[in-house]
Amino acid sequence: MRKLRDNIISFLAHKAVRQLLFRIVVVNIVFVVSIFLLSIFFDFEEVHQSISLLQDFEFQTAFILVVGLIEGVILASIVAQWLYQQNFAALPIKKLIAEGENELIEFKSSLRWDYKEKRTNKDLEYVIAKTIAGFMNSKGGTLLIGVDDDKNPIGLEKDFNTLKKKNRDGFLLHLGQVINNCLGKEYSRFVSISMARVSGRDVCRIDILPASSPVYLYYNGHQEFFIRESASTQPLEIREAHDYIKMHWGK
């Protein structure tokens, strides 16, 4: 039930859906107000004739069909886009890896082990958090940890060894803490985390829903805002973030 609720919330969080519902409400309000104003400022017989026309069955049918067709096409396109995004959450990990990185899929080699410097690097946790935030502020998506840029499952053994509890449970616990500390506990409901074995190695899968409100990243005393653009996570400056939030959420 919670997953269904979150899916509904993410769908309704889509700006185009809110605009469509808003237009439907506005059309009905305008219709009622128009009739009221006609009755005040115009001759009653003319108003009566207008109301009679509006009450005509054929007119009503044609009007409803035209409006319904237009709104139906808009809603269908929104639903199709939303379902396309949700389908990624149902794909097996191997297919996601084969798909490669794109607007909705991202690979990260590790949570905190730096393969280049061969040491624990907590700044990599920031990279994971900003990627999740970028997905939340955009269309959602899937992040795989334990897969390199060349689509090779390299596992999480190195990450496990940096933790007090050197196994899956320790990894999941630490990842949850990173998300809560950097993004806020209230946004954890937009994230679904699971573990799987791919080619004999552990891979962490994070399915991310688009958030219903802007998600900011808090790290080392700084607040940042990220979005997903093409196949990368991009920061926005204050003015850019303000314009994006207004466009994306209508706030």
Q: State whether 67 and 189 are in the same domain.
A: no
Nearest to 142 by CA among 173, 105, 96: 105
Query: pTM for this one?
Result: 0.69
- Owning domain of residue 149: 92-249
Query: Is residue 126 domain-shared with residue 209, that is, in the same domain?
Result: yes
How many residues does the structure list for the chain?
A: 251
Q: In DSSP terms, which residues pair with 105 in a beta bridge? A: 102, 142
Asked whether residue 140 falls in the same domain as residue 244, the answer is yes
CA distance 46 to 18: 36
pLDDT tens digits, 183-193 = 999 999 999 99
Output the tens digit of pLDDT for each of the chain's 251 residues: 555 555 555 555 555 555 656 666 666 676 666 656 655 555 545 555 555 555 554 555 655 566 666 666 656 555 555 555 555 556 788 889 998 999 999 999 999 999 999 999 999 999 999 999 999 999 899 999 999 999 999 999 999 999 999 999 999 999 999 999 999 999 999 999 999 999 999 999 999 999 989 999 999 889 999 999 988 999 999 999 999 999 888 76
Report the number of distinct structural domains present in the chain.
2
Q: In the listed set 84, 104, 125, which residue is the last one of a domain according to the structure?
A: 84
